[in-house]
């Protein structure tokens, strides 16, 4: 039938143009991390980067629709595993979602004579590492009370990636050290990794070079996954929280003591004073002005814990983007578009999100978050702040509605003045 | 032939996918404001955003072809109308092209305890409002001498939008307050707009909430246009130019007094000293260094009034883009491309423009503007300046031609030295 | 069926409009300078901009794949030629690759009363000119010892062009002065280039205007190429290196004297102290902090001269892009991709380059450069530095490998500890 060849031709061309070319698949995620459509990325939509019997790493690149993309990694390490050393060439903020482990790092800037440092990780910790740092992770802490060994789950965001306006990620955030070395061919490595420490240039002279068999043996590790068996003796993990000092531990009861912290690399979000705390839940916001570890970055951190049947009232931040991950439960995020109706592509939306989902709320978009009646709703996130600012609220004494002329407000909604009294809280049941 | 139906199918699918879908029309402009092709946007090519019996708002998003798009709104208010309160989340510079009215605004930054301010608008006024301001407009000033009521016409530009390199506008410049509220669903509003002023979180408990009937009545105003009937009593418009002080009024005769103005929000371009003033016309340029109201912005303002048969001689600004609107008459803009011939996509152009047209001249492009012999040609505009600088001229004592070696200049044009004397003004008739 | 041929016709026209037209060639390069694919641009892939019997200019626009494109011009002037005056509206860094000549320039900023300056060029010179400068070049220096007259070859880069994220170049770096003038139509020129020096606006009154015949004669030079016959008397080229002072001449033997230079416009890369110098070659790096002429720019300059069979060991610069041109010989550049395997589109590469090729290495990409066994390999280039920093090395005492725990490193490569000793230089043959 003619329709047959027509259909075949159409399907072939559609397939070829739209399906085959962009999605020529390779291993795992199949190519570079794409920018995600829409304001949410489901847990199962994360882009796998590596997976082994000892753990996995996946990535999310999410756009706020305006001025950039935000790049996150999700690292899961099984008990007794080792996340091999990687060289960081981006800033990194990480949040420990579950489990325990050890983070080891050393800053390798040419003028820095730093030593290897270690710290024990626990749930709620937020760490910051600068670029030109080499770090590795171990899930190796044995709980003393027979607690079942847990996966170590880490969420990381890479500040600075938001300026990459192109869709495809072009410079990954960190490179495995063995890949840095093995990216060069054998002759380069033989000359470079010589038996004698040499200055910048070397003669490709076989006499002093590393034997080829050694290079071949190194290449055996070329296709190692990033997370491998961690059962071996490195340095005793002394539980060196002491390295960081004891000042980061606050009693939850001492809500008044929100003094500026000593300069250090980490803090724990569960130990921070709550900004809001009542029977409907609590929230914590830590900005880069308040915490030395975040100084010189544009990033702040927040966590919100809504009790069941509760709501974070409508608010917005004029110049701050929020990138959040749901830690527990389910919830609804309502987002309202700024602008005049149909002036932009934006549409008011209700996002149904659940544990593991990533969602982003662009700047200047009013939002409200709600839990369901059957469970709490907990999410944490990173805020990219352009400037120091406070959120705006639609209700309460800080509401913008309170400050307008009552008659004009009535005209805005085309209602009677008495109706407006309800909005302004001057009318009681 | 089978190829026939195959081809038709292919063309249809191409049409459908590429042509039909993006241009599926909705009300008015039909979707988000597009970036305009080419350096001019005709009056009838402005993108309508809203229209009612009381007025209309349209938009223009124009690219300078290099590093950004500029976003403008054109607001027309009929006599006795009210432009409903909107929340500005961008900076706004506005120019009053015709008519009279009242601008009311209040800054709602969380830490600002500001009161509602008002000022009477008249033709030539330039105002600046910062982001996080709520404002509304009224065309309500009754001229005392029986003057026919005029439309209030305002041209606005939103600095900061030029960094949105994407084609589609994603964050509108301001949001009607009623849309901010009604963007949330009923249950959110019932909890939020409670009778008692509440802290951040609320329980969705019907006892304290606003009755559903009230919310439904509010929703009645959901589809209100932005400009409505303004016949009602708000606060008396006291003609409060006094609020701003009297320092902005200069006698046109006092051209020497171009002293720095007191800090205030507005000035009138017709009261500024003219930078150039002779029988061929006049021009005014006000930069952000000269006027406090423009401080901290990258924007300056200019107006040019060419008498009939006159010309603004060829000049260019190395780092400043000009976005202009024709206020009166017709004219020709000649724009020359920088660079070597066919090095870029740019082509020398002659733009024929008339009243209402918007045109943009990118940085470093030499231009000349000319009026016709039968009428004057008046245009005003905004300049996006990267740095403090003065224009370059091709002629006159500041001309770059005057400063080159005469023989080299002759070689440039491949003419005799005596011919060059004409250019350099050393030869007389 | 006729529809069949219609369809063919439509497809053909689609082909023509969308595929053929953009590649329709005009003179020379045929359209605007395109961004080059891939990290190298061969000598024969440079985009010709103009060519005459007296010389030629070609361009390269090369992307580093991340955050910008770099724009270079290649100017070749035959003996006794003149590069006509051009007006620079970009910053310009130039390197003299071969030959001798004279550079003349004058800064034409409106508030600058500068005079014409001249300097004699020789191989290895690096000059910087600011925007709003008019300059011209002459290949006119006669060597006193009967040396064969050489072509004057200049490589130029235009800082600031790297921020143009769009593919097509929209503002060329400089405009021939005659094109600036002749871009306007006759009537504008007659009014502008009047016999009397006039203020800004002019009346288009034939009485005072330049006669039309003069304008026509000027137009005769409209299609002049940029490089023309230079045999005519301008000002005596006095070999005015004296204009710049004598401080830029260092004895090659005085390697210790690397003191900060007096403020001047030029230096010679062959007179700089070598940062590394041994029997395998030498390298020079001059950063913007070290040299006044480069101050206020983000650009540094480097040159590397590898002896035969030598190598520049693997290294990378975390925040610096390198744009290099091969001056002599052939070589291999190995570039390793940062990131996890298949996280990005980047692929490890071996670039085979030869004299005249341009190559770019993006930031954070480890690289090694090698010469062949039969000849030296010399390249120079410009570094776009985001911050002040030193390179990182994979080997030698600054190597990052030296600083990691030995057992963890063994795990990285999945080899025995003894094998790792080879890498760390603790094992000897």
In tens, the pLDDT along B333-383 reads: 999 888 887 777 778 889 999 999 999 998 888 899 999 999 999 999 998
Give the pLDDT band of residue C20 (cuts 50, 70, 90).
very low
- Burial classification of residue A232, based on how many CB atoms lie within 10 Å of its CB (0-12 exposed, 13-18 middle, 19 or more buried): middle
Out of B59, B184, B193, name the one closest to residue A334 (CB). B184
Distance separating alpha carbons of residues A358 and A298, to the nearest angstrom: 20
Residue C154 has pLDDT above 90, yes or no: yes
Which of A122-131, B276-285, C141-150 has the least mean pLDDT? C141-150
Tell me the per-residue pLDDT of C360-370, one tens digit each, with 9 for 90 and over.
998 888 899 99
Give the pLDDT of residue B371: 94
What was the pLDDT predicted at B196? 45
Q: How far is A266 from chain C (nearest CA, A)?
A: 22
**DSSP structure string for B170-182:** -S-SEEEHHHHHH
Average model confidence (pLDDT) across chain A: 76
Residues with Cβ within 8 Å of residue A262, at least 6 apart in sequence: A245, A247, A292
Distance CA B136, CA B113 (A): 19
More confident residue, A168 or C150: C150
C2 to chain B: closest CA residue: B4
> B109-123, B319-333, C50-64 — which is least confidently predicted?
B109-123
Tell me the average pLDDT across C122-151. Answer: 83
Question: Per-residue pLDDT averaged across A105-113, rounded?
Answer: 75
The segment with the largest mean pLDDT, out of B11-15, B236-240, B369-373, is: B369-373
Say if residue C295's pLDDT is above 90: no
Q: What is the mean pLDDT of residues A172-178?
A: 86
Are C396 and A111 inside 8 Å of each other by CB?
no
* Helix C212-219 vs helix B417-424: crossing angle, to nearest 10: 120
Interface membership of C32 toward B (CB under 8 Å): yes
Asked whether B415 and C221 are in contact (CB, 8 A), the reply is yes
Residue percentage of chain A with pLDDT more than 90: 29
* Residue A190 pLDDT level (bands cut at 50, 70, 90): confident
pLDDT at B162: 54
- What pLDDT does C264 receive? 44
Q: What mean pLDDT is predicted for residues C274-282?
A: 86
**Of A201, B167, A85, A27, which is closest to residue C405 (Cα–Cα)?**
A85
What's the confidence (pLDDT) of residue B253?
26
Q: Crossing angle, helix A2-14 and helix B2-14, to 10 degrees?
A: 40
Task: Please answer yes or no on whether B346 and C11 come within 8 Å at the CB atom.
Answer: no
| Region of poorest pLDDT, from A205-209, B54-58, C233-237 | C233-237
Handedness of CA B402, B407, B413, B417 (dihedral sign): positive
User: Which of A427, A423, A426, A370 has its CA nearest to residue A400?
Assistant: A423
CB-CB under 8 Å, B306 with C220: no
Dihedral of CA atoms C72, C76, C82, C85 in degrees, nearest 10, equals 0
CA–CA dist A44, A49 (Å, integer) = 13
Q: What is the pLDDT of residues A383-424, one digit of tens each?
A: 887 666 777 777 766 677 887 888 888 888 888 888 888 777
Question: Which of B334, B396, B429 lies at the smallest CB-CB distance from C195?
Answer: B429
B175 CA: distance to closest CA in chain A (Å)? 4
Q: Are strands C35-36 and C55-63 parallel, antiparallel or unpaired?
A: parallel
Return the half-sphere exposure (C-beta side, CA atoms, 13 A cut-off) of residue A326. 25
- Residue A221 has what pLDDT? 74
**Top mean-pLDDT range of B168-182, C128-142, C220-234:** C128-142
**Higher pLDDT residue, A318 or C55?**
C55
pLDDT at C94 over 70: yes
* pLDDT at residue C307 greater than cutoff 90: yes
Q: What is the mean pLDDT of chain B?
A: 76
Judged against a pLDDT cut of 60, whether residue A349 lies above it is answered with yes
Residues of chain C with Cβ-Cβ distance to B370 below 8 Å are: 188, 204
3-state secondary structure of B428: coil
CA atoms of C428 and A27, how far apart (whole Å): 40
**8 Å CB contact of A169 and C366:** no
More confident residue, C405 or C325: C325
Split at pLDDT 50, 70, 90, the class of A143 is: low
User: Is residue B184 pLDDT above 80, yes or no?
Assistant: yes
d(CA B39, CA B367): 13
A206-252 per-position pLDDT tens digit: 566 778 888 888 888 777 899 999 886 554 433 333 223 222 222 22
d(CA B173, CA B158): 7
Q: Note the pLDDT tens digit of each residue in B127-172.
A: 999 888 899 999 987 665 666 778 999 999 987 655 544 444 556 7
**Above 80 in pLDDT, residue C349?**
yes
Maximum mean pLDDT: which of A172-176, C7-11, C47-51 = C47-51
Does A17 have pLDDT greater than 60? no
**Residues in C touching B414 (Cβ below 8 Å):** 220-221, 224, 228
- Cβ-defined contact of C188 to B314 (cutoff 8 Å): yes
The whole-number average pLDDT for the span A357-363 is 90
Between these two residues, B212 and A377, which has the higher pLDDT value?
Answer: A377
The three-state secondary structure class of B24 is coil
How crowded is residue B260: how many other Cβ atoms within 10 Å of its Cβ?
Answer: 10
SS3 C281: strand
Angle, vertex CA C16, rays to CA C11 and CA C17, nearest 5 = 100
Instruction: Sort out which chain B residues have CB atoms less than 8 A from C191's CB and list them.
Output: 311, 313
Chain C residues with CB-CB distance to A28 below 8 A: 342
pLDDT for B363: 83
Answer with the residue of higher pLDDT: B149 or C406: C406
Q: What confidence score (pLDDT) does residue B400 get? A: 76
Poorest-confidence range of A289-303, B165-179, C101-115, C293-307? B165-179
- For residues B227 and B50, the answer to whether their CB atoms sit within 8 Å is yes
* DSSP state for residue A230 in the 8-state scheme: -
- What pLDDT is recorded for position C66? 64
Q: Select from B280, B340, B398 the Cβ nearest to the Cβ of C201.
A: B280
Q: Is the pLDDT of residue A174 over 70?
A: yes
Mean pLDDT within A150-166: 76
Query: Within the 79-98 window of chain B, which residues sit less than 8 Å (CB to CB) from chain A?
Result: 82, 84-85, 87, 89
Q: Is the pLDDT of residue A145 over 50?
A: yes
| pLDDT at residue C124 tops 90 | yes
Q: Which residues pair with A154 in a beta bridge?
A: A75, A96
State whether residue B32 sits within 8 Å of chain C by CB: no
A396 or B8: which leads in pLDDT: A396
Over 60: is that where the pLDDT of C19 sits? no
Residue A4 confidence (pLDDT): 59
C411/chain B closest Cα distance in angstroms: 46
For residues A140-162, give the mean pLDDT. 77
Q: Which residue of B has its CA nearest to A362?
A: B171
Whether residue C428 and residue A214 make contact (CB cut-off 8 A), yes or no, is no
Report C:152-211 residues touching A (Cβ under 8 A).
165
């Amino acid at each position: 039938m003619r329709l047959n060849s027509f259909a075949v031709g159409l399907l072939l061309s559609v397939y070829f143009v739209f399906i085959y070319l962009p999605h020529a698949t390779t291993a795992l995620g199949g190519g570079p991390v794409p920018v995600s459509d829409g304001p949410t990325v489901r847990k199962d939509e994360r882009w796998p980067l590596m997976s082994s019997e000892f753990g996995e790493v996946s990535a999310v690149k999410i756009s706020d629709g305006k001025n950039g993309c935000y790049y996150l990694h999700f690292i899961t390490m099984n008990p007794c595993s080792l996340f091999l050393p990687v060289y960081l060439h981006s800033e990194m903020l990480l949040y420990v979602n579950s489990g325990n482990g050890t983070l080891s790092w050393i800053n390798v800037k040419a003028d820095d004579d730093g030593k290897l440092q270690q710290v024990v990780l626990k749930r709620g910790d937020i760490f910051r590492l600068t670029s030109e740092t080499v770090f590795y992770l171990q899930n190796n802490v044995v709980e003393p009370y027979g607690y079942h060994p847990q996966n170590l789950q880490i969420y990381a965001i890479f500040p600075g990636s938001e300026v990459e306006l192109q869709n495809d990620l072009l410079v990954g955030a960190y490179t495995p050290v063995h890949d840095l070395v093995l990216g060069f061919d054998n002759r380069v490595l033989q000359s470079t990794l010589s038996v004698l420490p040499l200055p910048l240039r070397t003669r490709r002279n076989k006499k002093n070079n590393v034997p080829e068999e050694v290079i071949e043996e190194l290449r055996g590790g070329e296709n190692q996954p990033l997370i491998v068996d961690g059962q071996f003796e490195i340095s005793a993990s002394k539980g060196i929280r002491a390295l960081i000092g004891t000042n980061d531990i606050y009693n939850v009861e001492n809500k008044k003591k929100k003094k500026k912290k000593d300069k250090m690399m980490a803090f724990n979000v569960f130990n921070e004073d709550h900004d809001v705390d009542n029977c409907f839940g609590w929230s914590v916001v830590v900005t880069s002005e308040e915490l030395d570890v975040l100084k010189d970055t544009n990033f702040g951190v927040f966590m919100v814990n809504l009790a069941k049947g509760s709501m974070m009232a409508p608010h917005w931040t004029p110049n701050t983007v929020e990138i959040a991950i749901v830690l527990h439960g389910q919830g609804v995020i309502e987002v309202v578009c700024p602008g005049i109706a149909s002036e932009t592509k934006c549409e008011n939306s209700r996002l149904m999100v659940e544990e593991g989902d990533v969602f982003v709320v662009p700047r200047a978009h009013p939002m409200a978050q709600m839990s369901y009646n059957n469970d709490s709703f907990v999410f944490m996130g990173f805020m990219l702040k352009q400037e120091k600012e406070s959120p705006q609220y639609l209700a309460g004494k800080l509401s913008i509605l309170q400050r307008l002329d009552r008659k004009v407000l009535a005209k805005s909604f085309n209602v009677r003045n008495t109706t407006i009294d309800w909005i302004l809280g001057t009318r009681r049941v």
